[in-house]
Amino acid sequence: MAVLDGSGSGIDATGERSVYRQGDDYDHRMPYDPSAFPPFAVTVDLVVLTVRRHALCALAVRRGESPYKGRWALPGGFVRADEDLTQAAARELAEETGLHAHDASASAQDNGAHLEQLATYGDPGRDPRMRVVSVAHLALAPDLPAPRAGGDASNARWAPVEELLEQGGHGRDGGTEAPLAFDHAQILADGVERARSKIEYSSLATAFCPTEFTVGELRRVYEAVWGVALDPRNFHRKVTGTPGFLVPTGGTTTRQGGRPAQLFRAGGATLLNPPMLRPEV
């Protein structure tokens, strides 16, 4: 019988659902016989974004094994038996970047990265070897030192997202470079689009900034993520006028040159109302 009743959701109303059967008949008394459903591997993949030199960049790692050996891919790995999806993503993030993610409850700046679930990709055949369902996560981090991937710097880098998303893009050496492995170009594009829309109505853009930052630095984050130029004067009026967005620390800095600018920390507000408006829409 169907008793599909299996799912962690499975619901079996009357029991007339059919079940995946691998060749042999499925015994309804054993709904969780592993042979009753297809074997899945579950992984987490990470879209780790940062702003470097006025460009939105993503962390890419070079694949050391086939398929796609030598191609760039998003970092990721298997979900372990005893961890939930967020833990798996946080673990991978720490392994790749040294960052520890702060969950949504972390109020003050702890120099961690923002981490959230992005979407799940599970097309049969997205991995040529077996059925792999990948729960992609999005991480936003301040500008970091050069990445380390298993200690080997040549196998990990921050790459501008436009470069990674170019169709049959060109590498830095000028030669044609293959696009990202697997469906990672799609995952990256989805992550970038999530980041672009989310900084509109939330204070998440501060996740790209160091603990203390100026209004101009925050504006350059918006400009890099959206790929537009913003009016510095209107931007200043807007962000300083939004309650809870920015908290002045009292200090100033001239690291951007020009007149000393006030330093701020991220305020407690997470939702911006009214939102920042992305031009050209």
Partner DNA sequence: TTAATAGTGTCTGTGAGACAGTATCAA
Partner DNA sequence: TTGATACTGTCTCACAGACACTATTAA
Query: CA nearest 132: which of 41, 60, 207, 209?
Result: 41
Min CB(212)–a copy of itself separation in Å: 30
Find the binder of a copy of itself among 25, 53, 81, 173 (CB under 8 A).
81
Stretch that binds DNA, among 20-28, 159-167, 171-179, 237-245 (CB under 7 A): 237-245
Q: Which residues within the stretch 9-48 sit at the binding site for DNA (CB under 7 A)?
A: none
Of the pair 15, 251, the CB lying nearest DNA is at: 251
Query: CA nearest 227: which of 279, 153, 187?
Result: 279
Of the pair 84, 162, the CB lying nearest a copy of itself is at: 84
Stretch that binds DNA, among 22-30, 39-47, 89-97, 215-223 (CB under 7 A): 215-223
Q: Is the peptide bond before 232 cis (omega within 30 degrees of 0)?
A: no
SS3 assignment, position 71: coil
Residue 152: partners with Cβ closer than 8 Å, 6 or more residues away: none
DSSP 202: B
Q: What x-and-dash track marks residues 260-279 binding a copy of itself by CB under 8 A?
A: -------------x------
What's the CA gap between 82 and 93, in Å, rounded?
17
Among DNA, a copy of itself, none, partner that 113 touches (CB below 5 to 8 angstroms by kind): none
Q: Is the peptide bond before 248 cis (omega within 30 degrees of 0)?
A: no
Handedness of CA 240, 246, 251, 253 (dihedral sign): negative
Among a copy of itself, DNA, none, partner that 216 touches (CB below 5 to 8 angstroms by kind): DNA
Find the binder of DNA among 9, 39, 233, 271 (CB under 7 A).
233
Of the pair 110, 123, the CB lying nearest a copy of itself is at: 123
Find the binder of a copy of itself among 100, 144, 155, 267 (CB under 8 A).
155
Find the binder of a copy of itself among 57, 115, 134, 230 (CB under 8 A).
134
Q: How many Cβ atoms are within 10 Å of 162's Cβ, its own excluded?
A: 13
> What angle separates helix 215-226 from helix 184-201, to the nearest 10 degrees?
140
Distances (CA, A) of 90 to 79, 105, 144, 244: 11, 15, 17, 27
**CA count, 13 A, side-chain hemisphere, 7:** 11
Find the binder of DNA among 234, 247, 249, 268 (CB under 7 A).
234
Find the binder of DNA among 202, 236, 245, 266 (CB under 7 A).
236
Among a copy of itself, DNA, none, partner that 111 touches (CB below 5 to 8 angstroms by kind): none
Question: H-helix or E-strand containing 111?
Answer: none
Find the binder of a copy of itself among 102, 114, 184, 194 (CB under 8 A).
184
Q: How many Cβ atoms are within 10 Å of 60's Cβ, its own excluded?
A: 26
Task: Please check whether residue 88 is in contact with residue 80, taking contact to mean a CB–CB distance below 8 angstroms.
Answer: yes
Find the binder of a copy of itself among 7, 111, 176, 256 (CB under 8 A).
7
Stretch that binds DNA, among 90-98, 113-121, 194-202, 214-222 (CB under 7 A): 214-222
Stretch that binds DNA, among 106-114, 142-150, 171-179, 211-219 (CB under 7 A): 211-219
